[in-house]
Amino acid sequence: MWRVSSTVPWGACAVARGEFYGYYLGWAGPARRAYAAGLALELPSGYSRADCVVVCGMGGSGAAGDYLAALSAAYGGLPVYVVKSAEPPRWVRGCLVYAVSFSGNTRETLNCASRAYRLGGYVVAVTTGGRLAAWARRVGVPVAVVEEAPAPRAGWPQLFYTLLGSLKAAGLIQVPGGHVEESIQLLGERERAEAEARELAEWLQGSRGSLVVLAPEPYYPVAVRTRSELAENAKLTADAAQVPEAGHNMLEAWARSGDTRILLLDPGEEPWSTLLHQAAGLARPASLHVARLRGGSMLSRMVWGTWLAGLASVRYALDAGLDPEPVKTIKAFRRVVEETTGWDALD
């Protein structure tokens, strides 16, 4: 199991560059353990009355919520609303609220958790520890303690599968167990993932122009996550867009600019594949790369795309001589948030 010496705010330890990549490569282990832990998480009996789900979380932690919202919409389950700021919705009373913060010290998430609690939400803390865990224990709400990782974003399997397991155990999402198992097994296909990540990293190095990650609407969270992984690990700017929506606005600008390069996240299912390729053709990109989302279910394809994005963004950084792990500008912003807002620190 991964251990770090400090969690304030996270990753105060230095991680060897190769180890960071190796951690992503080994996602199958944390994914399996997190799913089991999520299934086993005991929620107070009153929580079963929940009729909506709210996920509070920022960056790598909030991403888990985007996936659950898309999966619940596609498979069935309670509506999932994702908060990427400090305030839960006014109607949070009666919702199951996952306050997700890898470090447990993100001010926006701490504030969201305490406000949701006071407004009558059924709060669950999902974290490695920090202030969030301490507060949750103090007020008596459940804490799902997740395994450490070299950075919050690298701990995506812990966060996502813990939430998925917990929602499944409570009967609040209808993703079949077989789909979950297949998605975790897919994370064992290291050679294929590495080869495809290398190809993607090489394309990113070798092509020029403003980068757009384009996915069909149900897979949009994977495009957004890819954008974040490229930003944090590869220090690379990208936009994330979805079909059909982008075909009703962005396409006009891409077609005119002539310097757009498109990364297509293709799930290999219709009508999405045809729509994606047609949209990409109309955009007349300077360069196009197709990343196939592998797997036999929507869940597996999302997990595969997420894994690929992580591996490729780290590989890109390593090949460019960059250290993918430090995010000093993000840390500076976190200090700005702490100094300029009155958001609850839960001390």
Place of tokens 């992580």: 310
Which of 38, 60, 216, 285 binds ligand F6R (CB under 6 A)? It is: 60
Interface characters, 5-44, with ligand F6R (x: CB under 6 A): -----x----------------------------------
Burial of 118 (0-12, 13-18, 19+ CB in 10 A): middle
Nearer to ligand F6R, 59 or 121 (CB): 59
C-alpha distances out from residue 55 to 77, 280, 316, 343, Å: 14, 33, 31, 18
Site residues (CB under 6 A) for ligand F6R, limited to 109-148: 109
Which of 32, 41, 52, 59 binds ligand F6R (CB under 6 A)? It is: 59
**Strand positions, DSSP E, 103-252:** 122-127, 143-145, 210-216, 239-243
Nearer to ligand F6R, 47 or 102 (CB): 102
What is the spatial distance between Cα 329 and Cα 207, in angstroms, rounded to a whole number?
A: 26
Which residues have CB under 8 Å from 124's CB, separation 6+?
41, 43, 47, 96, 97, 98, 99, 141, 142, 143, 144, 166
Q: Applying CB under 6 A, does 162 fall inside the site for ligand F6R?
A: no
Nearer to ligand F6R, 168 or 225 (CB): 225
Q: Applying CB under 6 A, does 151 fall inside the site for ligand F6R?
A: yes
Only segment of 36-44, 149-157, 281-289, 314-322 that touches ligand F6R (CB under 6 A)? 149-157
Residue 109 CB neighbour total at 10 angstroms: 34
Site residues (CB under 6 A) for ligand F6R, limited to 86-115: 101-103, 106, 109
Nearer to ligand F6R, 234 or 327 (CB): 327
Nearer to ligand F6R, 30 or 152 (CB): 152
What is the spatial distance between Cα 347 and Cα 194, in angstroms, rounded to a whole number?
A: 43
Q: Which residues bind ligand F6R (CB under 6 A)?
A: 10, 58-61, 101-103, 106, 109, 151-153, 232, 327, 330
